[in-house]
């Protein structure tokens, strides 16, 4: 039995050695894989940080663009408002201009009518002066005792 016991001890010893070698092999493989995973993790963290920094820069530019766009929209609204005010003012001025042109035309027509009346009245006055002059001559002639009057 001693032989069986010795053979069993040797077998157990080899089994323990094999298990120890397997455990060491597993630890080496695990350590290697852990280092690979850790290295890849560090690379990914670096890429993530780089991407995050780029995203922050892009976000800053986007915020600036939004601010510029808002400012441009405010300027555009202000210009539209001023344009509409000027357009309304221009329309009022055009209406006023047409009204004034009509008034000028009416006044010119009235002036023409008044000139015509003035000419007629001046002619009538000239006739009346002529008649008055003739009548004064006759009165003077009668007052002077003239017989040929």
**pLDDT tens, residue by residue, 17-32:** 999 999 999 999 999 9
Q: Where are the domains of the chain?
A: 42-142
- pTM score, whole prediction: 0.48
Q: Tell me the three-class secondary structure of the chain, residue by residue.
A: CHHHHHHHHHHHHHHHHHHHHHHHHHHHHHHHHHHHHHHHHHHHHHHHHHHHHHHHHHHHHHHHHHHHHHHHHHHHHHHHHHHHHHHHHHHHHHHHHHHHHHHHHHHHHHHHHHHHHHHHHHHHHHHHHHHHHHHHHHHHHHHCCCCCC
Are 141 and 149 within 8 A, CB to CB? yes
Q: Which two tokens stand for residue 134?
A: 């003739």
User: What pLDDT does 146 receive?
Assistant: 66
Q: Which range, of 48-57, 120-129, 139-148, averages the lowest pLDDT?
A: 139-148
User: What pLDDT does 54 receive?
Assistant: 96
């Amino acid at each position: 039995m001693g032989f069986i016991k010795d053979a069993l001890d040797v077998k157990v010893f080899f089994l323990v050695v094999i298990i120890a070698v397997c455990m060491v092999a597993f630890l080496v493989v695990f350590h290697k894989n852990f280092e690979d995973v850790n290295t890849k993790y560090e690379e990914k963290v670096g890429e993530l940080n780089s991407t995050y920094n780029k995203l922050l820069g892009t976000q800053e530019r986007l915020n600036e663009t939004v601010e510029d766009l808002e400012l441009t929209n405010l300027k555009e609204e202000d210009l539209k408002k001023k344009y509409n005010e000027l357009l309304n003012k221009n329309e009022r001025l055009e209406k006023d201009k047409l009204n004034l042109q009509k008034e000028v035309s009416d006044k010119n027509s009235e002036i023409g009518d008044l000139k015509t009346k003035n000419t007629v009245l001046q002619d009538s006055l000239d006739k009346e002066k002529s008649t008055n002059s003739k009548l004064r001559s006759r009165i003077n002639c009668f007052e002077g005792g003239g017989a040929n009057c």
